Each structure stands twice: as C-alpha cells, then as structure tokens.
Chains A and B, each alone.
Chain A
C-alpha cells in the first residue's frame, strides 16, 4: 500500500549517514512507518549507493537488494544509507572516502567498523534499527563499541543478492538495533530463501525472543580471555557470564586451538576474494569515467588509483600477491585448511555445549587515528573472525562499561541456531534492564 511517508531530518552530528531521504515512503506491514537505515554497500533502487568509495560516487542502483525488497514489503521506511569503511574494509569506519563516523558515546573515538554508520545512527537515537554487513566482525564490533545489539546470522540465512561483494564466502547481511527484540524483528523480515543467491538456504526466521536459559551449557574459550584482551573488558564480560550462571546456565571451559592462525587465515581469504570481486570497478559500467582514448590497462589503472582508498588498494594487492603463481600453496591453500580446522574446533565444542560466550572485541572503542598501522587494526578482529570462517551465528549484546565506554558480550551458536543466540542475549538483556 503506497501513499504514506515519514519525514526524516536527523541532526547527524556523528556523520552516520552518507545519504538521507528527507521524505521516506513506506507501506503497511510488520515494520509500517518504522525508520530503518541501510548500510551503503546494500543496493537501494533509486538511492545512491557508494560503499563509502569515490569509485562508486554517483552510482544509483537500478534494482533493490533482496533484503531491501523485503524491508519495503514489510512497510519499513528506508531513511538513508549509512557510512562505513570503504567496501567494508576496516574496523573503525575511518576508511570512508567521506570522512569518519564518530562514536556517540565519545566523539573522540571511533564507532567501530565497518558498519559504524549503522551503529552510530542507532546509538545516536536517529533510527531504531538498521542493516549492517559482517565479513569479519563488521556488525558485532560497532555494536559492541556503540552499546547496541547486532547479529551476524548463519551464513546462508540471509540473501546476499544486491550486496556489493567484498568477500563472498565470509559475509552476511544482518540486523542491528537498540534491543534484542528489535534485532529479532528485523531478522524475521530479512531471513529466508532467495534463488538469486545460490548460497541461500530455506530457513525462514519466525522466532519471538524468549527469556530462560535454565540448564543451558555455555562454553568459555580460554583464548577469548588471553593475551591482547584488555583486563578491564575481560572483567566486565566475566561478570556478565557470571550473571548468565545465576540465571541457570552452567559454564564449561573450552579451547579453540585454531585461533592461533584464524586471523591470518581470515585476512588471506578475504583479501584473495576482494582482489577478484573488486576487479569490476573500472569506470566503464559505473563510477567515474575511464578515459576511452587510453589503452584499457592505463585507463583502468588511473580510475582505480584515483577511486580506491589506500586500504582497499592494499587489500587488493595482498590478495593478488597471495594468489599469484608460486604463493598460492603457501597462503590461500593453507588458509583453507586453517579455516577447516576452525570449523572443526567449533563443531567439537558444540557437541558438548549449546553456545559459546566471550568478549566481542578485545578493547573498548579506539581513539580516532589510533589504529593507523594496518596490521595493528587487523589484530583487533581476532575475537570476531573465527565466527565468519566457520559460518556460524553470533550476536553482540551490551554488557556494561569499561573506562566509561560500552563493552559487548558475544554469544556464538551452532549453525542455524540464530534463535538460540537471540534467546540467550534476550535473557541477559531482560535480567539487567
């Protein structure tokens, strides 16, 4: 049903949005008239979609992503496109070609990334819910840093049709919101089969969050509390896990030995996939014009050097190197074995426990500019990437503060048990609020 619209004129002091829709039309349904923000790497028909990159400046998608079609069908008002690290490559939202997003809790700090704009839009009170994407933690990290809830669904649960790909085998679109209930509601709208994504499964989500975790077994991996994890953050998360114990769960220590090389496996895999995926940006079909008078090699190089940011060029180069003749066996092939080992570790632990819990991020939100060295930024993803390598669901739910900044409790589940991680997060949220 057409004819309705809401007016959206936020005071965007955090640079959360790249595009806002002042008049946002909406129909009837479960989300009728609710303002929903969409990360800028998800295609929206008629609304500029840039992936926070100069190379897509001015690109107006001629079609909607599957999740956007579903949002529109549910009556949601799409009010804007949110800022992000360019193509999803970053942990801070500082790698946006259009300036960083600021953390609403402390504007001297980053909101996390790469879905930092979506998280800041929610934490800053501009929208109730938003879509993000999570390739190596890009929903959970900003959710943790901005004190909101974010779910990375099981791989295959939400269609990636219309998501501008960065690393196909790792990424999922997922819901972000102020509360677990909002996240669950949004998940109910976007999950389900879509034949235009060949990795999409027929697993609709019709769940309503239920409190109650009596008898639940929670694995606590020692690696999530080891070196590199800020003791203050660990203390806050430990207290939250203690609370889950008081609510009837039992905790069991466990270990994920493959975490030793999980981060390297992740970065090899995602850069290799990126080097292939981002080959399409050449200024011919979209983006800034390639000079058709030049040779193709020269023309593409000029467009891509000017259009891609430093981190994007770095990842394309790393992937190109890792896939090049003579190095494939050393990097990509090894990374795939490592990935398999991560999956096996999770499968072994999940044969004994129902969920796994730990911190979402090893620290609180960084200061702006703090992570200028790429490797040190990559290292901060250590607690989120194992989930993407294994394709399992995980949620980040706020669990207190350290040094005045929000801390996220991460709950990981078996494949297709998104409902269970939602319920555990809901139980915790209801107990503390």
Chain B
C-alpha cells in the first residue's frame, strides 16, 4: 500500500506535480494497480534475461548535423545561439 504521502513524494521525484484535490483519487487508483502487480510475486524462476541482441559498433566519424537555427527553432528561450534553461544553482 502506498500512502498519500508516498504518492506525493513520487510525484515530486518525477517532477509531475500533484495537487491536494487529486491526491486521494490518485492514491486510490495507484493502490488498485499496485495490488494487481502483486501477481508478479507468483512468478517463479530467476532466469537471467537472454538477449538476442548485440552491441552495434561503428567508427566515430564526423557527419553533417542539423543547422543550429533549425535545432533552436523549437526552444522557447534562447540566448546567443544557445538554449536557455532554468537555473540549476
């Protein structure tokens, strides 16, 4: 069982926000889903997952890339050809 406090904490970790009005419904639905996931407790075996894939390596060659202005076109805030982001300090 996840408590309302835990659900709020998860919302914070995931940066998706949650408000007080939706917290009760979210917690209720969250727990119904987690209860259903408990069926995985019945999974037996500790088989290592086999992968029929392999690493794909290539030479590190310089190739043309998109023009800077095209890459910046979708960014809301720019400065001197860079994308402007919120403060991290």
Binding site for B on A (CB under 8 A): 58-60, 62-63, 195, 198-199, 260-261, 264-265, 267-268, 275, 279, 282-302, 304-305, 308, 310, 313-314, 316-318, 320-322, 324, 330-331, 334-341, 373-375, 378
Nearest B residue (CB) for A258: B43
Are B75 and A374 in touch, CB under 8 angstroms? Answer: no
Q: How far is the CB of B59 from chain A (nearest CB, A)?
A: 12
In the complex, chain B residues whose CB is within 8 Å of the CB of A283: 76
Measured between beta carbons, the chain B residues less than 8 angstroms from A293 are: 86-87
- C-beta contact mask, B67-89 vs A, less than 8 Å → 1, else 0? 00011011111000001111110
Instruction: Decide if A264 touches B87 in the complex (CB within 8 Å).
Output: no
B43 contacts A284, CB within 8 Å? no
| A285 to B13 alpha-carbon distance, docked (Å) | 21
Q: Is B62 an interface residue (CB 8 A)?
A: no
In the complex, are the beta carbons of A284 and B40 less than 8 A apart? no
Q: Is the CB of A286 within 8 A of B74?
A: yes
**Contact between chains at A60 and B39 (CB < 8 Å):** no
- B residues within 8 Å of A by Cβ? 2, 6-7, 10-18, 22, 26, 29-30, 32-34, 36-37, 39-43, 45-47, 49-50, 53, 56, 58, 66, 70-71, 73-77, 83-88
Q: Is the CB of B17 within 8 A of A264?
A: no
Chain B residues with CB below 8 A from A282, complex form = 15
- Using a Cβ cutoff of 8 Å, how many contacts connect chains A and B? 154
Inter-subunit contact A62/B26 (CB<8 Å) = no
In the complex the two chains form, is A286's CB within 8 Å of B75's CB? yes
| A47 CB, min distance to chain B CBs, angstroms | 13
Give CA–CA (A340, B10) in the complex, Å: 29
Most chain-A CB neighbours within 10 Å: which of B15, B18, B58?
Answer: B15
* Residue from B14, B39, B87, B88 with most neighbouring chain A CB atoms (10 Å): B14
Chain A binding surface SS class:
helix
Residues of A contacting B76 in the complex (Cβ-Cβ under 8 angstroms): 283-284, 287-290
Contact B87 A295 (CB under 8 A): yes
Name 16 A/B residue pairs within 8 A (Cβ), A-sorted: A261-B39, A264-B39, A265-B40, A275-B14, A284-B86, A296-B87, A296-B88, A300-B86, A308-B16, A313-B18, A314-B26, A320-B13, A321-B30, A335-B40, A378-B33, A378-B36
Distance of B88 from chain A, by nearest CB (Å) = 5
Give A314 to B33 CA distance when docked, in angstroms. 10
Q: Are B42 and A261 in contact (CB under 8 A)?
A: yes
Chain A residues, CB < 8 A from B13: 320, 324
Across the interface, do A59 and B74 meet the contact criterion of CB distance under 8 Å?
A: yes
In the bound complex, CA of A295 to CA of B85 (Å): 10
Q: How far is the CA of A304 from the CA of B14 in the complex (A)?
A: 9
B36 touches A304 (CB 8 A): no
The reply to whether A317 and B75 form a contact with Cβ atoms under 8 Å apart is: no
Tell me the nearest residue of chain A to B37, going by C-beta.
Answer: A264
B2 in contact with A321 (CB, 8 Å): yes
List, in ascending order, chain B residues with CB within 8 A of A322's CB.
37
Contact A316 B39 (CB under 8 A): no
